[in-house]
């Protein structure tokens, strides 16, 4: 009996950071680029992909709120997470220089992560588009010699562009965290992290009580994200990442306790937390021309 090769759907073009994260999760996977996050969920639901990968938050730019909403709208469990060091490059048509550029485009998150660099440019229009690698593809297909794209070095290789500058991201480690979704839960023996979402009544002390069910059992919350409840202005849902498996007795007790006063609760997935190899964490450097960086 042969095992089906993993097929991971992601939003973006080949060379997108989501593609790199997918291959970090499963190096032998077949990757499937799609136009939108909604299409990623649909591909997994319909069986056209075994998994989907979704950027959830960036250490500089913050959370990708749409994907939190989509996790609640679909019954596809989180089965893993990936952290990816993001290193932004300025790409251009072969032969173009920085002085030739009149427009630079990229995904809004990438632009936010390179704010310091972009503020230093004069006479250059900054344009937000749907995907980092998509900007690189546009330059190549339309032979745009006065347009640059902020994207990955791999995007430059895929679309035959030149890297004018690298390390454009703002100071500090620029890391994006991704969730991997599937149709079936992750094997319970591997899990040591759980993501839940819950809604609370709008009464004094509701959030304090909710968080206390975890604090009383020494369960660490590694992430807490609020999102508005649609149709109920100024009421909120709360997404929480717990550093414990759902099957752990303390986690089960905490969620039962939470359900006593929450409007509702839902477990979005229990999975193995990402382990970052120590050798891959290094301090970022300032933006430099590629020729200088290569010596």
Q: 7 with 32: CB under 8 angstroms?
A: yes
Is the pLDDT at 24 greater than 60? The verdict is yes
Is the pLDDT at 130 greater than 50? The verdict is yes
CATH at residue 243:
3.30.70.260
Whether 294 is covered by a domain: the verdict is: no
Whether 285 is covered by a domain: the verdict is: no
User: Rounded to whole angstroms, how far apart are CA atoms 279 and 259?
Assistant: 42
DSSP conformational letter for 172: S
Residues 105 and 226 in one domain: no
| Catalytic site residue from 41, 178, 198, 214 | 178
| Residue from 114, 102, 107, 161 nearest 136 by CA | 161
Whether 62 is covered by a domain: the verdict is: yes
| Catalytic site residue from 31, 50, 132, 176 | 176
- Please tell me whether residue 264 adopts helix, strand or coil conformation: strand
User: Rounded to whole angstroms, how far apart are CA atoms 216 and 234?
Assistant: 28
User: Rounded to whole angstroms, how far apart are CA atoms 159 and 148?
Assistant: 13
Whether 292 is covered by a domain: the verdict is: no
Q: Where are the alpha helices (DSSP H) in the chain?
A: 17-25, 37-45, 65-73, 108-113, 115-119, 132-142, 153-159, 206-215, 249-259, 290-293
Give the structural domain span for 134: 89-168
Largest Cα span, the chain = 65
Percent of the chain with pLDDT over 90: 83
| Residues 103-119: tens digit of each pLDDT | 999 999 999 999 999 99
Instruction: Give the model's pLDDT for residue 195.
Output: 98
Confidence of residue 295 (pLDDT cuts 50, 70, 90): very low
Is the pLDDT at 49 greater than 90? The verdict is yes
Across the range 31-54, mean pLDDT stands at 97
Name the domain count of the chain.
3
Is the pLDDT at 286 greater than 60? The verdict is no
Instruction: Give the model's pLDDT for residue 259.
Output: 96
4 versus 227: which is more confidently predicted? 227
Instruction: Give the model's pLDDT for residue 61.
Output: 85
Residues 190 and 179 in one domain: no
Residues 60 and 190 in one domain: no
Whether 287 is covered by a domain: the verdict is: no
Residues 109 and 57 in one domain: no
Length of the chain: 295
User: Rounded to whole angstroms, how far apart are CA atoms 192 and 285?
Assistant: 34
- Which of 58-62, 79-83, 104-108 shows the lowest mean pLDDT across its residues? 58-62
Instruction: Give the model's pLDDT for residue 289.
Output: 59
Residues 69 and 177 in one domain: yes
Residue 120 has, within 13 A of its CA and on its CB side, a CA count of 8
Residues 177 and 78 in one domain: yes
Domain end position, chosen among 168, 203, 236:
168
Question: In Å, what is the CA distance from 240 to each residue of 24, 92, 107, 209, 244?
Answer: 24, 40, 26, 14, 12
Is the pLDDT at 51 greater than 90? The verdict is yes
- Radius of gyration (Cα) for the chain, nearest Å? 21
Instruction: Give the model's pLDDT for residue 294.
Output: 45
Q: What is the pTM of this model?
A: 0.88
Is the pLDDT at 82 greater than 80? The verdict is yes
The whole-angstrom distance between residue 122's C-alpha and the CA centroid of its chain comes to 30
| Residues 244-260: tens digit of each pLDDT | 999 999 999 999 999 99
| 198 included as an active-site residue | no
Whether 143 is covered by a domain: the verdict is: yes
Residue 63 has, within 13 A of its CA and on its CB side, a CA count of 11
| Residues 172-217: tens digit of each pLDDT | 889 999 999 999 999 888 899 999 999 999 899 999 999 999 999 9
**Please, what is the average pLDDT of the chain?**
91
Residues 265 and 143 in one domain: no
The CA-based angle 163-112-55, given to 5 degrees, is 90
Whether 2 is covered by a domain: the verdict is: no
| 178 included as an active-site residue | yes
| Residue from 183, 126, 133, 94 nearest 16 by CA | 133
| Residues 131-180: tens digit of each pLDDT | 999 999 999 999 999 999 999 999 999 999 999 999 999 988 899 999 99
Backbone angles phi, psi at 15, to 5 degrees: 100, -5
């Amino acid at each position: 009996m042969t095992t089906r090769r993993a097929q991971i759907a992601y939003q973006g073009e080949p060379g997108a950071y989501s593609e790199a994260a997918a291959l970090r999760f499963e190096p032998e996977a077949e990757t499937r680029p799609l136009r939108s996050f909604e299409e990623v969920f649909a591909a997994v639901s319909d069986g056209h992909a075994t998994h989907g990968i979704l950027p959830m938050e960036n250490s500089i730019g913050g959370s990708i709120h749409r994907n939190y909403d989509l996790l609640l709208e679909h019954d596809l469990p989180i089965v893993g997470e990936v952290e990816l060091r993001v290193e932004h490059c300025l790409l251009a048509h072969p032969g173009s220089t920085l002085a030739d550029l009149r427009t630079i485009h990229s995904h809004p998150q990438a632009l936010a992560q390179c704010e310091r660099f972009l503020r230093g440019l004069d006479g250059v229009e900054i344009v937000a588009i749907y995907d980092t690698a998509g900007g690189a593809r546009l330059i190549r297909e339309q032979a745009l010699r006065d347009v640059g794209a902020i994207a990955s070095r791999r995007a430059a290789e895929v679309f035959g562009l030149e890297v004018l500058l690298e390390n454009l991201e703002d100071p500090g480690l620029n890391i994006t965290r991704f969730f991997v979704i599937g149709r079936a839960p992750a094997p319970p023996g591997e899990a040591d992290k759980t993501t839940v979402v819950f809604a609370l009544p709008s009464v004094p002390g509701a959030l304090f009580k909710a968080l206390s069910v975890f604090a009383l059992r020494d369960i660490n919350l590694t992430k807490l994200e609020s999102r508005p409840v649609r149709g109920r202005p100024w009421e909120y849902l709360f997404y929480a990442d717990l550093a414990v498996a759902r099957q752990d007795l303390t986690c089960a007790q905490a969620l039962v306790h939470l359900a006593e006063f929450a409007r509702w609760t839902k477990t979005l997935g229990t999975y193995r937390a990402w382990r970052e190899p120590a050798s891959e964490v290094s301090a970022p450097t300032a933006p430099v021309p590629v020729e200088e960086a290569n010596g």
